[in-house]
Amino acid sequence: MTVETTVRAAAAAAREAGRTLAAAPPADRDRALAALAGRLRDPQVRRRLLDANRRDVEDAEREVAAGRMSEALVARLALTEAKLDGLADAVDTLAAMPDPLDRVDLRRELDEGLVLERATVPLGVLGVVFESRPDALVQIGALCLRSGNAVLLKGGREAARSNAALVDELRAALGQADLPPAAVVNLPDRAAFAALLDASDLVDLVVARGSSAFVAHVRASTKIPVVGHAAGICHVVLYDPCPPAMAARIVEDAKCSYPAACNAVETLLWTPGTQPALAAVIERLTSRGVRCRGCPKTRAVFAGLEAATDADWDAEYGDLVLSIRAVADLDEALAHVARHGSGHTEAIVTDDDAAAERFLRSVDAAGVFHNASTRFADGYRYGLGAEIGISTGKLHARGPVGIEGLLSRTWRLRGRGHVASDYGPGKRAFTHCDLPADGDERP
């Protein structure tokens, strides 16, 4: 059997399983999520997961030693007891949320006895390709279970054993809730993902997480709609007046708490009058091992910095590296962000509320923050339970894609033998009376 045949068969089975999942009582999906959280806490399951991950990490460390992989990638790859605790808690949070399906948000009488309603439904079958973060697989899979979607998952090859083991747990959790395990599929390699991109008749949406070039490649390779979780070239702007202690704390968190994350800051911009804040930031970052690269004006003030090149302004380091540039004013800062930003998350640190408000309203990005770390750009931190990715596009979903981003709408019309030809000029008129969405009749 060819790769294409195998993937089409798996996608077809996932489509059928997804219909069952979507039509199941909410309690069944709740049970599947509870089973998944329980399995993530089970000591025997944990031993299997951590053993599979240990072997992936050992292979990755050999690649680092050979100069073929960065330490930052290994940091993303590793699973720990603490990470599994966090994943189990996140699944519990999703399970505690109200069921998102069949939620009526509009109900309208078109005529007596003819009532229209709009309700939430799953998208259907998703294909998701993501980087070497096994914890992302659990978040994505749990969101799909909560929203009634089937999913075919392609993780990074560096995490192949970890991903396969985690998909087994997702499928086992579905089975414990008497739901079809075929709703979750592991795609083992690039050839399988390439075959999925050809299955536009079976897959409703592709979520591509990776570099801008990779997302562009996926879009060019398929007729399936694509939501891109692309590069996170995030900026922090220091604008006068800028409290040094606040600036140092925010930039430290934005760079150092998880430098491989897409919401980590990559470029710091500073305006005249913020040199004390900049000094506090550089002192804090260098103490944490961050390599700071400055433009000529920055190095004129802080001579010990590495020299930044034009390439640095478009770099997503994913590591303990930060580029720093002096800008003349807020206009120049906004222009730099517009030219070099990726539309992910941008932040300004200042006590000038008017300047901050202008920044918040002028920057074109999924997230724009004032006096807060870019690391807040996250589905869990936003209260979405988890995220399937952070969309830097503008259609369908933008920013952290949680439950709402995995839903569509359907229109349901209930009548008593009504026909459209009875309505129009000189005929019967529509009433178009909005009714309570909870199903009560007109007041």
Q: In Å, how far are 64, 149, 288, 293, 433 from 302, measured between CA atoms?
A: 32, 53, 17, 10, 67
Domain count, the chain: 2
Residue in 60, 86, 59, 55 with CA at minimum distance from that of residue 72 = 60
What confidence score (pLDDT) does residue 212 get? 77
Which helix (H) or strand (E) segment holds residue 84: the answer is helix 81-96
Mean pLDDT of 223-241: 91
Which value, to the nearest 10 degrees, does the dihedral of the CA atoms of residues 101, 104, 105, 106 take? 150
| pLDDT level of residue 73 (50, 70, 90 thresholds) | confident
Higher pLDDT, 392 or 431: 431
Collapsing DSSP to helix, strand or coil, 48 comes out as helix
Segments forming the whole domain that contains residue 180: 3-209+402-406
Q: In the chain, pLDDT over 70 holds for what percent of residues?
A: 98
The encoded tokens of residue 81 equal 């007891």
Whether the predicted pLDDT of 136 surpasses 80: yes
Collapsing DSSP to helix, strand or coil, 320 comes out as coil
| pLDDT level of residue 193 (50, 70, 90 thresholds) | very high
Same domain, 202 and 282: no
Whether the predicted pLDDT of 309 surpasses 80: yes
What confidence score (pLDDT) does residue 442 get? 45
Q: In the chain, pLDDT over 90 holds for what percent of residues?
A: 80
Question: Tokens 């089970």 — which residue?
Answer: 42
Same domain, 298 and 349: yes
What confidence score (pLDDT) does residue 390 get? 83
Same domain, 98 and 200: yes
What confidence score (pLDDT) does residue 439 get? 61
Query: What CATH number corresponds to the domain at position 71?
Result: 3.40.605.10
Range scoring the smallest mean pLDDT among 41-50, 107-116, 213-222: 213-222
Same domain, 178 and 280: no
Same domain, 127 and 174: yes
Mean pLDDT over the full length of the chain = 93
Radius of gyration (C-alpha) of the chain in whole angstroms? 25
Same domain, 263 and 198: no
pLDDT tens column, 144-186 = 999 999 999 999 899 999 999 999 999 999 999 999 999 999 9
Give domain status of residue 392, yes or no.
no
pLDDT tens column, 335-370 = 999 999 989 999 999 999 999 999 999 999 999 999
Same domain, 295 and 366: yes
Whether the predicted pLDDT of 443 surpasses 70: no
Question: What residue spans of 198-303 are helical by DSSP H?
Answer: 212-220, 244-256, 275-287, 296-301
Same domain, 169 and 293: no
Whether the predicted pLDDT of 17 surpasses 50: yes
pLDDT tens column, 95-124 = 998 999 999 999 999 999 999 999 999 999
Is 391 in contact with 229 (CB distance < 8 Å)? Answer: yes
Same domain, 178 and 272: no
Range scoring the smallest mean pLDDT among 246-255, 274-283, 334-343, 432-441: 432-441
Query: What CATH number corresponds to the domain at position 267?
Result: 3.40.309.10
Give domain status of residue 435, yes or no.
no
Same domain, 197 and 257: no
Is 5 in contact with 191 (CB distance < 8 Å)? Answer: no
Alpha-carbon gap, residue 385 to 120, rounded angstroms = 18
Which helix (H) or strand (E) segment holds residue 5: the answer is helix 3-23
Give domain status of residue 383, yes or no.
no
Whether the predicted pLDDT of 429 surpasses 50: yes
